[in-house]
Structure 1
Amino acid sequence: MGCAGSSRAKSEESAKKIRKPKPWKHSEPLTRTQLKQMRDEFWDTAPHYGGQKEIWDALQAAAEADISLAQAIVDSAGVIVQNADLTICYDERGAKYELPKYVLSEPTNLIRDS
């Protein structure tokens, strides 16, 4: 019986509804070009932090999609969402994936490119 309770709790955890991150502010104003460069650098290096490349790819697709599509992506990839804003997730093997807010949403102090 303990196993059934454990697996049910795990499936409920992986089915956590995701939401947009709360508004945030970068330490200094960023242009859209600078934000894109930061995001590109993160996604290029993310697989080196550990975990599976397929999960990183799914997280990137989810981060760049609208919220309902993002939910479908993480559900189908078997991503276990700890924080509803996707900042902390796990795969089915228990590897941890941490996403910075700048890959999930825009800062409140985003400025126009010159």
Structure 2
Amino acid sequence: MGCAGSTDKSEEGATKKLRKPKPWKHSEAITRAQLKKMREEFWDTAPHYGGKAEIWDALHAAAEAQLDLAQAIIDSAGIIVTSEDMSVCYDERGAKYELPKYVFSEPINIIKDD
């Protein structure tokens, strides 16, 4: 249940309610430090993939937030989520934003840092 003015736009093909990503496995076991480095590299280069910097910033904030806060960030930025795990999103002008799974969840084969 949301605010009186909130709507679920999933029927119209727009914003979907975010959900926890499905478990996934990286091609090889990685440490949390390696995962952190991969995330940093992605977010440092994300604006070069196209789209608007402020949308990338909102996606970055949402990817690191709890689900309810992430939903609020996505909604307030006007981001259209086509996959419940945020892996494919669009801005209001139709620019596509693709996020790899590792930016918002950990693989099941993560190993402890030494």
TM-score (norm 2): 0.88
| Rounded Cα–Cα distance in structure 1 between residues aligned with 2:30 and 2:20 | 20
Q: Does 1:48 align with 2:14?
A: no
Partner of 2:36: 36
Q: Percent identity?
A: 71
Q: Does 1:26 align with 2:29?
A: no
Partner of 1:15: 15
Higher helix share: 1
- Give the paired residue count: 106
| Rounded Cα–Cα distance in structure 2 between residues aligned with 1:76 and 1:11 | 19
- Aligned CA distance change for structure 1 residues 10 and 20 (closer, same or farther; 3 Å): closer
Any unmatched runs of 5+ in structure 1? 1-8
TM-score (norm 1): 0.88
| Rounded Cα–Cα distance in structure 1 between residues aligned with 2:90 and 2:11 | 13
| Rounded Cα–Cα distance in structure 2 between residues aligned with 1:81 and 1:87 | 8
How far off is 1:16 after superposition?
A: 1.3
- Conserved 8 A contact 1:25-1:107: yes
Partner of 1:79: 79
Q: What is the aligned-residue RMSD (CA, Å)? A: 1.5
Larger radius of gyration, structure 1 or 2?
Answer: 1
